[in-house]
A and B are shown apart, each in its own frame.
Chain A
Amino acid sequence: MNFLLIAVGVLILVVLLWLVLAYNSLVRLRNEAAQGESSIDIQLKRRADLIPNLVEAVKGYATHESATFEKVSNARAQALGAKTLGDKAAADGAMQSALGGLFAVAEAYPQLRAVEAFTKLQTELSDTEDKIAAARRYYNSVVQRFNTKQQTIPTSLIASAFGFSPREFYRLEDDAEREPVKVDIAR
């Protein structure tokens, strides 16, 4: 009888301990995901801040390309106004295609590449692209862990009870290969 009581007590303790650990890991992942999103935001903001100077630099040489410039500044406005993650990703995609257009224009003016301010902006922009990619990779990997944990037993049992909900991935719609590289090729 005594033994039974102890066994039940130990069992309850173990379950409680697991509950605490599982809950904490869910909270940790949720915070990490939020941190990951803000780190994407920082880099998107940094890119948006580079745009006006970049446009100015190119405008000085390519005067007849107002459509391209407009596309870029629209993309910038879209990026700065984006509130949800989906909006941000959509603006990110729009910005990438607009910048692609801008650099295609810049290609046509070799004098531009001799301008130090322009090349400096270009390297800074490509560095920002790298950092956006890195931040996106981190965010998506955290979200994947977070969502998997909420969908698999036994954590799924407490996830809904405590009001955890799956997070959205940061996806660029235009190209699938930009998703976090799944290194899953079995030999």
Chain B
Amino acid sequence: MTLQEQIRSARLRTVMVLVLFVILMAAIVAAIYVAFGSGYGVIMGLVAVGYGIFGYIAAGSIVAAASGAHKITKDQAPELFLAVENAAIAAGLAKTPDVYIIEDPAPNAFAAGRTPEKAYVAATTGIIQLLDKRELEAVMAHEMAHVRNRDVRLMTLAAVMVGVISMIADMLLWSMIFSGGRNNNNNPIGAIIAIVAIILAPIGAALLQMSLSRRREYLADATAAELTGDPEGLARALYKLGADQRPLQKVNRATAHLWIESPLRDHHGMSTSLAGLFDTHPPLQERIDRLQEMGGFQLPPLPKGAAEA
């Protein structure tokens, strides 16, 4: 696929995943209705909406603190700063985002902040050492692409939706346990459907969230290639990141989707297609392949084992 085709396809797939999300929500609501009637559903809905709003607000600026990032000025890391500036100009952002550094030898980087005005990017000391100017600019362009595509907001929303769905499932489970046989007027088939929905809904929601995250990674790669006009620079950077096996010191699963490559290395050797469904990032080799396809160049394949990171 060419660059423009990849961007279009990633956008389309995002919409498809979001539609699935909505269908899932509707299915849960229907299950509640069938099993418990409308009054119960309204209360549960209100609690869920309240939880969702709270979660969305609370998820604000915890990322930088959680990853141990601290803000820097231009003098402290000029090459990183220039890379961010150039990427921000290429992305047409009105202002250059703040730049943070994480003291960590593992090479990685992320962007956060819900709107382009409040966005900031963070890079580890490892990635500054590992990459040359061209590659660092490509990585920062990937981060700017996340900012411009409003991915942080989208993924926060997805995380909150998963939280809400899990919470509803929990509430349903407890209420079924406690109400036991009192709901005699319900039909047994409805109850069975409800139980199945309770079990499957959180898993399905998590799968959708991860799938969404992977789509947005592909999209950010393609957008970055468009911004820099240099898909090869990004592919080279990803190649170097793939060859490096050091795990990040401070990382938590909640923010994994923000990074340029997955900071989680805990599933080594079991990267089967099934485990891949729960990954926040597509395999690096696949991302490099797509960049090669749009740029018409060829890098050597990643060494075995590295590609699974």
B295 contact set on A, CB distance < 8 A: 183, 185
In the complex, what residue of chain A is closest to B92 when comparing beta carbons? A138
A186 contact set on B, CB distance < 8 A: 2
Q: How far is the CB of A135 from chain B (nearest CB, A)?
A: 5
B228 contact set on A, CB distance < 8 A: 134, 137
Contact assessment for A137 and B90 in the assembled complex, using a CB-CB cutoff below 8 Å: yes
In the complex, what residue of chain B is closest to A43 when comparing beta carbons? B89
Q: How far is the CB of A98 from chain B (nearest CB, A)?
A: 23
Contact assessment for B89 and A141 in the assembled complex, using a CB-CB cutoff below 8 Å: no
A93 beta carbon closer than 8 Å to chain B: no
Contact assessment for A138 and B89 in the assembled complex, using a CB-CB cutoff below 8 Å: yes
A180 beta carbon closer than 8 Å to chain B: yes
Contact assessment for B229 and A39 in the assembled complex, using a CB-CB cutoff below 8 Å: no
Contact assessment for B89 and A39 in the assembled complex, using a CB-CB cutoff below 8 Å: yes
CA–CA, A39 to B89, complex, Å?
8
Contact assessment for B89 and A183 in the assembled complex, using a CB-CB cutoff below 8 Å: no
CA–CA, A79 to B246, complex, Å?
49
B296 contact set on A, CB distance < 8 A: 183, 185, 187
Contact assessment for B2 and A183 in the assembled complex, using a CB-CB cutoff below 8 Å: yes
B229 contact set on A, CB distance < 8 A: 137, 180-181, 183
Q: How far is the CB of B121 from chain A (nearest CB, A)?
A: 16
Interchain CB contact (< 8 A) of B92 among A32, A180, A183, A185: A32
B85 beta carbon closer than 8 Å to chain A: yes
Interchain CB contact (< 8 A) of A131 among B86, B91, B225, B230: B86
Q: How far is the CB of B288 from chain A (nearest CB, A)?
A: 15
Instruction: Give B85-113 interface residues, CB cut-off 8 Å to A.
Output: 85-87, 89-92, 94
A142 contact set on B, CB distance < 8 A: 92
The CB with the most chain B CB atoms within 10 A, among A43, A127, A185, is that of A185
CA–CA, A65 to B16, complex, Å?
64
B286 beta carbon closer than 8 Å to chain A: no
CA–CA, A32 to B92, complex, Å?
8
In the complex, what residue of chain A is closest to B87 when comparing beta carbons? A134
- Contact bitstring A113-127, B, C-beta under 8 A = 1, else 0: 000000000000001
Instruction: Give B1-40 interface residues, CB cut-off 8 Å to A.
Output: 2-3
Contact assessment for A138 and B293 in the assembled complex, using a CB-CB cutoff below 8 Å: no
B225 contact set on A, CB distance < 8 A: 183
Contact assessment for A183 and B3 in the assembled complex, using a CB-CB cutoff below 8 Å: yes
A74 beta carbon closer than 8 Å to chain B: no
- Known contacts A138-B89, A138-B90; A127 and B2 CB within 8 A of each other: no
The CB with the most chain B CB atoms within 10 A, among A36, A134, A137, A184, is that of A134
A-B contact pairs, 28 of them (CB 8 A): A32-B92, A35-B92, A35-B94, A131-B89, A134-B86, A134-B87, A134-B89, A135-B90, A137-B90, A137-B227, A138-B89, A138-B90, A138-B227, A141-B226, A142-B92, A180-B229, A181-B229, A181-B230, A183-B226, A183-B231, A183-B294, A183-B295, A183-B296, A184-B2, A185-B2, A185-B295, A187-B293, A187-B296
